[in-house]
Structure formats: C-alpha cells, structure tokens
Amino acid sequence: MTIIDGKKVAKEIRLELKEKVSGLKNKYGRVPGLVAILVGENPASQVYVRMKQRACDEVGIYSEVLRLPEETKETELIELIQKYNSDEKINGILVQLPLPKHISENKIIEAISPDKDVDGFHPINLGNLVIGKDTFYPCTPYGILELLKRYEIETKGKHVVVVGRSNIVGKPVANMLLQKKEGANAIVTVCHSAAKDLKKYTATADILIAAIGRPKFITADMVKDGVVVIDVGINRVEDKSTEKGYKLVGDVDFEEVSRKASYITPVPGGVGPMTIAMLLQNTYESFNKSLNLQHGN
C-alpha cells in the first residue's frame, strides 16, 4: 500500500511554479497577480486566506488581500470585483466562501470575469469543463487529478466512484474524469445521500473519491481489495489529547481502509495541500492566457 503524499507533491508544484514565475519576471518584467477577497470575520476563512497569501509569496506571485466588513453590501462587493476584472496586475480573483447570508454567492461568482476565475466556479468555466473545453479547473478536483497523474495511477477504463455531488468537488471531479482525455477517460458513478445501499456502489470502485463531510464514513467493508482511495473530507473530531482539543480526520476510516487499499491519501496531508497549489497553478495559467491574448495568439 502506498500513501499518496499530497504535502510532498504540493511542494514540488510550488517549486516548479517558483521557477516558472521567475522566468516570466526575467522575460516580461511582470509576474502573475492574485487578489483574495474576504468578507466578515469567519476564522477558518481568515486562516485559508493567510495560507493562500503565504503560498503566493513563496512562489513569487503578486498578491493582494482585501478584508471587508461583515455588513458589506452585495452591490459594493460586485463593484470591487469589476474593478479587479479590469486591473492588469491581477490575473486571478478569488472570493473566499462562505459569504455572509445577505450576499448571494451565485451573483458574486458570476460577477468575476471567467478569464480571472481561478477557483473555476463560474458557470461558463464549469460549462466548458463539462463539454471538455480548455478552462480553469476547480482547485480541489484539479489537485485530485494531479495526484493521480503524478502517482501514475491509471484512470482510463477504470471505475471511479465519487461519493458527494457538491458543485466544488463531487460534480466537477466526476465530469473531469469522464472526459475522453489523458489522465481521465474513466467510467464514473456519482453517489449522494439518496443512495439506499451505498456499499453496493462503493464496493465496485477501482478508484473511490470520498467528498462527503462525515468523519470516517467509508469503512473497510465498503471497498474492495486494491482500491485507490482519495479522501477529500476534512472533519474536526474531539481529541482531548491535543492542544487544540480536536484533530482532523477524513471521510474514510484510514486505519481500516488502508489495509485493503493499493493507494490512499491521508488526512491531513493528502488532498488538502493540493488545493492551494492548484490555485497558484491556475493563476499562473491565467497570466499566460492573458499574454497570449496580448500577443494575438
């Protein structure tokens, strides 16, 4: 059994990007730019935004963080996004979710220019993803495909079972793996809470992707021998032995399931670190696309 080391792969990607960004700087005197917009005081969002900013600094991507008060109006936020849509220093705009209840997430996502939507959540980009056109992949699903690629795990003709159908993980990863492309071309089944006998589906998976949000929900009896397990879940469970009083576990019972798996991602240190690495990758790709447009390619 091989543990898929997302922390190591994410570091490799950041190092590769650092080199590429420094090449851009030498050639064009400019670097890619990312703005993160944070509305309100959500502590987890603050941590995520700080991590994203630190990662940008590490690879040499220019970053701005806009911290707005909880009572910011939807129209004000849209105006700010429009300003960044036409700001040449900025190639990626991310609005940290969740937003306060009085702001429509859909409206905000749709206000971001699809050319700068490095989270890959804009309906135009998701539509392009479904029909197999070049687009920004949402960062977590992109990270999953990158892990499978770098560990040389064959997906062509394999049965992938995705548990979870969210717009940010389940649906995009299922659609990406379905494409008739290198690193995809899988037979895909998507399960959700209406599945009466989940095990009936999960037990047939060559590759199982769990994006449920329930601690240790996938147990050893639900998978077959040799399965590849990608655990997207990040769940806090009480643990008095730790300083914080909790620990993070995935949607998969790692102890049990790892005995049957051929490959498995741990939590933490699996899919999690890949998400930010792919955000940087998307920002880099956005910069390159803008250069190609400027040079009429």
Residues in contact with ligand NDP by the rule CB under 6 A: 140, 163-166, 168-170, 191-195, 198, 211-214, 232-235, 271-272, 275
Query: Catalytic: 27?
Result: no
The CA R_g of the chain, rounded to the nearest whole Å, is 19
- C-beta of 62 vs 254, nearer to ligand NDP: 254
Q: Whose CB is nearest to ligand NDP?
A: 166
Query: Token pair for residue 187?
Result: 């037979």
DSSP state of 245: S
Query: Catalytic: 221?
Result: no
- Of the candidates 214, 223, 235, 296, the one whose C-alpha atom is nearest the C-alpha of residue 264 is 223
- Of the candidates 130, 135, 131, the one whose C-alpha atom is nearest the C-alpha of residue 116 is 135
Q: How far is the CB of 218 from ligand NDP (least distance, A)?
A: 10
Residue 248, CA distances (Å) to 102, 267, 268 in order: 30, 7, 7
- C-beta of 81 vs 271, nearer to ligand NDP: 271
Query: Catalytic: 52?
Result: yes
CB 230 within 8 A of CB 208: yes
- C-beta of 115 vs 171, nearer to ligand NDP: 171
What DSSP string describes 22-42?
HHHHHHHS---EEEEEEES--
The C-alpha atoms of residue 282 and residue 146 are separated, in whole angstroms, by 13
Catalytic one of 52, 116, 171, 216: 52
- Of the candidates 123, 101, 102, the one whose C-alpha atom is nearest the C-alpha of residue 114 is 123
- C-beta of 24 vs 228, nearer to ligand NDP: 228
Residue 254, CA distances (Å) to 5, 41, 170, 268 in order: 14, 33, 20, 11
Q: How far is the CB of 171 from ligand NDP (least distance, A)?
A: 9
- C-beta of 211 vs 227, nearer to ligand NDP: 211
Q: How far is the CB of 93 from ligand NDP (least distance, A)?
A: 19
Q: How far is the CB of 56 from ligand NDP (least distance, A)?
A: 17
Give φ, ψ of 211 to 5 degrees. Answer: -135, 75
Q: How far is the CB of 87 from ligand NDP (least distance, A)?
A: 27
Q: How far is the CB of 257 from ligand NDP (least distance, A)?
A: 16
- Of the candidates 2, 1, 9, 20, the one whose C-alpha atom is nearest the C-alpha of residue 150 is 9
Catalytic one of 5, 115, 117, 119: 119
Residue 184, CA distances (Å) to 144, 174, 211 in order: 11, 10, 18
Catalytic one of 96, 115, 253, 281: 96
- C-beta of 165 vs 289, nearer to ligand NDP: 165
HSE (side-chain half, CA atoms, 13 Å) at 10 = 25
Q: Annotated active-site positions, please? A: 52, 96, 119
